[in-house]
Every structure is written in structure tokens, then in C-alpha cells.
Amino acid sequence: MLEAFSGGDVRAAEAPLIDAGRGDALMQRAAHGLFGVALGLLREAGRSTYGATAVVLAGSGNNGADALYAGERLLRRGVGATAVLLSDRVHAASLDAFLRAGGTSVTLEDGADAGALARHAATADLVLDGIIGTGSGGNLGGSARAFAEAFTSVAGPRGRRTALVVACDLPSGIGVDTGRVDGPVIAADATVTFGAAKPGLLLGDGALAAGELNVVDLGLDLSALTPAVRSLLDADVAALLRRPTAQDHKYSRGVLGVAAGSARYPGAAALAVGAALATGLGMVRYLGPDAVAALVHQRNPEVVASGGSIGEARSQAWLVGPGAVDDEDQRVRAVEAITAGLPVVVDAGALSEVPERVGPQVILTPHAGELSQLLAGRGVDADRAAIEAEPAHYALRAAEMTGATVLLKGFTTVVAAPSGTLFAQTDASPWLSTAGSGDTLSGIIGALAATLAEDDGAAGRVGVAQEDLWAATAAAGALLHGRAGQRAALRGPVVVSTLPSDIGAVVADLLEGRRLAAVP
Ligand SMILES: NC(=O)C1=CN([C@@H]2O[C@H](COP(=O)(O)OP(=O)(O)OC[C@H]3O[C@@H](n4cnc5c(N)ncnc54)[C@H](O)[C@@H]3O)[C@@H](O)[C@H]2O)[C@@H](O)CC1
Ligand SMILES: [K+]
């Protein structure tokens, strides 16, 4: 499990080491880690270090010092490096070391034209972003802001950049603890973060700006602190997945009841059911209109279907809502399933049926628009944009208010438990943003919930408190879904109806501990 600690906590954990006179050693360790990742990236891109060009962006704090010391190491490997100093006060010893190794420097005065320097940086081989780290609130000011604006306009999505950008500790311009981006930001290909991951690297726009995340161990003692955000890794999900044993039968492996689909959206039921079966469980019971059941059967004849009620269909977990609109029977089933006391995934149409207070076994899976409505119904005014800017804040708020586990879909999927525990998964492929994708996610989580409903050891295996098991289950579903999407995208644009074969393959790989397909 990847654990992210707030900027303040990491700084507090560093304090005793700094007091003991080890500040410089920590800084050298950080710089060495940054250097190693930068070197690796250059090599991966097939660029020789000798003769390569690097630009070090250095702010006034220790973040700039880390980047300058990494620059010193690059210079000693034959890289030509220039430091762009974004303050007239820069950490003296690191700048001195950088210059002594053969680097050059230029100071960007406040108010000066940053365009030429930004173009120079964008067309170098490498940029090390040491503008600000944990010592700032996030939003850039002064000459740092001017440079970041100029750099974004020459190197942004519609600009030209050859440089690989590596963020030192975090991409300058993101909120350390929120991932919030309100101004210009130096978006990175990779981030090398020190001591521990910071929440902003896993959340919202911050995660997008961070690129590939590397954590450099500084030997900090974080054992007494609570992580602000957790992120499940492949091994954690593998530990949650249940491999059938010789003693198992279809009922002991988990039965998921699905009340999804309607005359208007029959396909959602087929997608959710297909994804659930591919995740692995004992049985899917389908409840819904005959015509939808027929479609489900066409694709998956192993499903047991009926037009009955929740009470008549014995299951270990429920999935309600996908594609269920304008259908009174499905609405009643959703209400009954949500209050049945069993784990239940509540998606789409069923989100409006959630009563005032439920328990953490009720897993809500809204996107930002649906969460906005859910919160509005409880007197909290937050539009889609506000939620997307601070996904963790609003997911936690909704979990607190409802008592449910809340999975908020997005580029990073955030899962909040009512206990305050937060997961963020950045596994999704952008190719997954297509119609029907959410139906498959809910099917995966439903299947996991059914297999874990009577598994007393599950929370322990993944290392979370029992009360957070359903949040971990939802996060595991997000990881599986994201990995399946990555795998599918290797073939081309993702067609959601074919995702089950990728889901099955990812489950098999996880259970065997095999390395998964690379991110496209
Ligand atoms: N404390 C430690 O033990 C270690 C810290 N390390 C590095 O130190 C960093 C933290 O260093 P600092 O506390 O010096 O702080 P930072 O280097 O993150 O930034 C603070 C500096 O930025 C300037 N600044 C503040 N807000 C700004 C804004 N909005 N726009 C532009 N400039 C702004 C301030 O003048 C201040 O000097 C970490 O992120 C990490 O990179 C590492 O060297 C590892 C060890
Ligand atoms: K930085």
C-alpha cells in the first residue's frame, strides 16, 4: 500500500533528523534519488547523458537546493546544465556546488520577460523543477508564476516540448495536501517525492501533473502518523482476491444480486453482469424486466434471472442502479437492497434512493455531477467543477454526511470511508472514459463485495481496519477496472463490452503475481 502523508506531517517527521544535524545528509539523499530518476528517464528516452542539456528551475527554498544538487550530479556525468533562479535568494551551498561542477545560472527578475527562458527550458533534454516543495501553499507567485505561465504556454498540450520534466518532491503549483491547481503548474513526466508521498500527488489535478510517481526513502519515522491518503498496489488487491478452494461451492464463493437495467437502458445490466462474472464469484442473480434479462442471458446464460423482489433472491451482496431509470420495480428493489444490511453497490439511478443515514457497507459510486446532486439534497452547494477541483474533500464530506462509503469517479478515483480513511487510485486509462465504463466498474466492485461479505480475514490481509474494508474493496475495484482498461487499450480504443476478457486476465495476473501490462 502506498501511503501519503500531509506536507506538514512529513516536515514534522524530518524535524528531529534536522535537529540532529542530518539536514544536509537528507538533502543529499533526496538529490541523489532525483538524479537517479532523471538519469533513468534520459536513458529510457534513448538520450545519451554526455552532451545532453538540462535546465534546473530553482526557487528560494530547500526544494531548489535538492534540484541544484541533482543538477551538480548530472553535470559530473557530462550533462550541460543551466539553472534558472526564480528568486534572488537561493540556497547558497547548492548553487555553489552546481556552479563549481560547471553549471551556469541566470536569475529571472520579477517582472522580466520569461518567454525566452521558458523556450530554452522546453527544448532542453531535461527540466528539473525545484521551484517549490512542501514549504508553500501551492499557488505560485512572483517570477516563479511568470516563468510557469510562460513555460506552460510553450510546453503545454498545444505547445512544443522536447524536455522530460521531473518534479522535485512535487510539481510546483499544486496544493501539497489537496492536489488543487488554481494557477500555472509545471506538469511533470515524473515526480520524485521525498520521505513519503504527499496527498496532492494522488488527488485530482495534482495527480495529473505528477506523472509517474517515485518515492525516495529518507528513513523518516512515520509510524505514529495516520496517512492522509492511501493507494492500493497490485499486491494489496491480490491479497483481497479470493482464490477458490476445493471446499468451495457456488454459494460459498459469493452470490451477487444485480438489480440493474431498464427498458430504456438494458445494456447497463449486461455490462455490469459481464464485469462481475469476469471478476470471479459463485453466482450472479439478476432481477429486472424480462426483456433485459433476455439480453443478459444472451451474453451470459449462467446468470440466474427473475422478476422477483430483493427478499426472495438470497445474495451476499447487491448491485443496484446502473441503467435503472423510469422503472418503479427497479426503484423499489434499490430501496430494499440499500436497507438490507448487506454490502451493496449503489450507482447511477439508485443514488437518489439513499436514505439519510446508512452504514459503510453501502458503497456509493457517483461521478462529480451525481455527487453534486447527492450533496445538494443534503444542503451542500458544490457544483461539478468545485468537486473536480477538490475530490477528496467532497468525497469525505459525503461519506461523513451519509455514513456510506463514497467512491468518486474521475481521472483519479477517490474512495472515502465514513471513518475518514481515504483511498486514491490513479490506475485508470483515459481510454476508459467512455459510455458504459461505470457500469463495468460497479460490476467489479459488486463481485468483490460478494466474495468478501463473509470473509472475516479480508481487512487484515489488506492491512486496513475492519470499518474500512468496504472502502478498500471499492478502491480494489477501481484498480482492477483501471488495469483492465490499460490492458484493453493496448489493442486500441476501449470497447467496454469487451472489457470482461481483460478483467479476467488482470485477475489471473494478480493472483499469479505476474507483472501487468505496461501503461499505454
Ligand atoms: N526538510 C528536510 O529535511 C528536507 C527537505 N527537503 C526539501 O525541502 C523542501 C521544503 O523546503 P522549504 O521548506 O525550504 O520550502 P520550499 O523549497 O518548498 O519553498 C519555500 C520557499 O519558496 C518560496 N515561496 C513560498 N511561496 C511561494 C510562492 N507562492 N511562489 C513562489 N515562491 C514561493 C518561499 O520564499 C520559500 O523560501 C521539500 O519539498 C524538499 O524538496 C529535502 O531536501 C529533504 C530533506
Ligand atoms: K517542485
**CATH at residue 75:** 3.40.50.10260
Return the ligand 1 atom nearest residue 11 CA.
1
Considering every ligand atom shown, identify the ligand nearest to the alpha carbon of residue 62 and give its number.
Answer: 1
Q: Of 208, 231, 254, which one is at a domain's C-terminal end? A: 231
Whole-number average pLDDT of the chain:
95
In this predicted structure, the answer to whether residue 214 has a pLDDT above a threshold of 60 is: yes
Q: Is 520 inside any structural domain?
A: no
Which residue's CA is the closest to the ligand 1 atom numbered 24? 136
What residue numbers does the annotated binding site cover? 268, 323, 367, 409-413, 438-439
- The 3-state DSSP class for residue 54 equals strand
Q: Is 155 inside any structural domain?
A: yes
| Average pLDDT score over residue span 419-446 | 95
| 274 in the same domain as 203 | no
What is the structure's pLDDT at 520? 41
Q: Of 213, 231, 249, which one is at a domain's C-terminal end? A: 231
| 326 in the same domain as 217 | no
Smallest Cα–Cα separation from 414: which of 373, 471, 469, 483? 471
Q: Is 347 inside any structural domain?
A: yes
Measured CA to CA, the distance from residue 357 to residue 29 in angstroms comes to 49
C-alpha to C-alpha distances, 62 to 26, 35, 93, 136, 187, nearest whole angstrom: 11, 16, 11, 11, 20
Range of the domain at 386: 234-511
What residue numbers does the annotated binding site for (6S)-NADPHX cover? 268, 323, 367, 439
- Range 379-397 burial, b when 16+ CB lie within 10 A, else e: eeebeeeebbbbbbbbbbb
Pocket test for ligand 1, best of 94, 107, 134 (most atoms within 8 A of CB): 134
Smallest Cα–Cα separation from 237: which of 417, 520, 506, 487? 506
- HSE value, Cβ hemisphere, 13 Å, CA-based, for 281: 33
With cell 427498458, the residue in question is 263
Cβ atoms 254, 453 nearer than 8 A: yes
Range in 77-81, 107-111, 193-197 the model is least confident about: 107-111
Q: Tell me the pLDDT tens digit for each residue of 375-400.
A: 999 999 999 999 998 999 999 999 99
What is the structure's pLDDT at 513? 83
| 57 in the same domain as 107 | yes
Across 6-68, where does the E strand assignment appear? 53-58
| 259 in the same domain as 198 | no
| 496 in the same domain as 438 | yes
Q: Looking at this predicted complex, what is its ipTM?
A: 0.95
Cβ atoms 310, 283 nearer than 8 A: no
Cβ atoms 436, 275 nearer than 8 A: no
What is the structure's pLDDT at 137? 79
Per-residue pLDDT band at 233 (split at 50, 70, 90): very high
What is the structure's pLDDT at 517? 54
In this predicted structure, the answer to whether residue 158 has a pLDDT above a threshold of 80 is: no
| 308 in the same domain as 277 | yes
Q: Tell me the pLDDT tens digit for each residue of 110-127.
A: 767 899 999 999 999 999
The model scores a pTM over 0.95: no
Helix 437-452 vs helix 469-489: angle between axes, to the nearest 10 degrees? 140
Q: Tell me the pLDDT tens digit for each residue of 454-502.
A: 999 999 999 999 999 999 999 999 999 999 999 999 999 999 999 999 9
What residue numbers does the annotated binding site for AMP cover? 409-413, 438
Q: How many distinct helices (H) and strands (E) make up the chain?
A: 18, 18
What is the structure's pLDDT at 112? 74
| 266 in the same domain as 194 | no
Torsion angle, alpha carbons of 59, 65, 67, 71, to 10: 120
Cβ atoms 351, 404 nearer than 8 A: no
| 14 in the same domain as 158 | yes
Q: Is 519 inside any structural domain?
A: no
**CATH at residue 371:** 3.40.1190.20
| Average pLDDT score over residue span 267-290 | 98
The pair phi, psi for residue 240, each rounded to 5°, is -80, -30
In this predicted structure, the answer to whether residue 519 has a pLDDT above a threshold of 60 is: no
Per-residue pLDDT band at 157 (split at 50, 70, 90): confident
In this predicted structure, the answer to whether residue 179 has a pLDDT above a threshold of 60 is: yes
- The 3-state DSSP class for residue 124 equals coil
| 438 in the same domain as 367 | yes
DSSP labels, 304-363 = EEES--GGGS--SEEEE-TT--S-HHHHHHHHHHHTSSS-EEE-GGGGGG--S---TTEE
What is the structure's pLDDT at 482? 96
Which residue's CA is the closest to the ligand 1 atom numbered 39? 133
Q: Tell me the pLDDT tens digit for each residue of 31-72.
A: 999 999 999 999 999 999 999 999 999 999 999 999 999 999
> What percent of the chain is predicted at pLDDT more than 90?
92
| 246 in the same domain as 199 | no
Q: Is 301 inside any structural domain?
A: yes
Element holding 408 (H helix, E strand):
strand 405-408
Q: Is 265 inside any structural domain?
A: yes
Which residue's CA is the closest to the ligand 1 atom numbered 42? 27
- Residues, Cβ < 5 Å to ion ligand 2: 129, 168, 172
Considering every ligand atom shown, identify the ligand nearest to the alpha carbon of residue 135 and give its number.
Answer: 1
Measured CA to CA, the distance from residue 159 to residue 147 in angstroms comes to 15
Q: Of 231, 260, 295, which one is at a domain's C-terminal end? A: 231
| 414 in the same domain as 376 | yes
DSSP labels, 218-245 = -----TTSPPSEEE--HHHHHHHSPPP-
Q: Is 360 inside any structural domain?
A: yes
Pocket of ligand 1 (CB under 6 A): 14, 18, 23, 26-27, 30, 59-64, 66, 132-136, 139-142, 144, 168-169, 194
Query: How many structural domains compose the chain?
Result: 2
What is the structure's pLDDT at 515? 62
Q: Is 20 inside any structural domain?
A: yes
| 483 in the same domain as 334 | yes
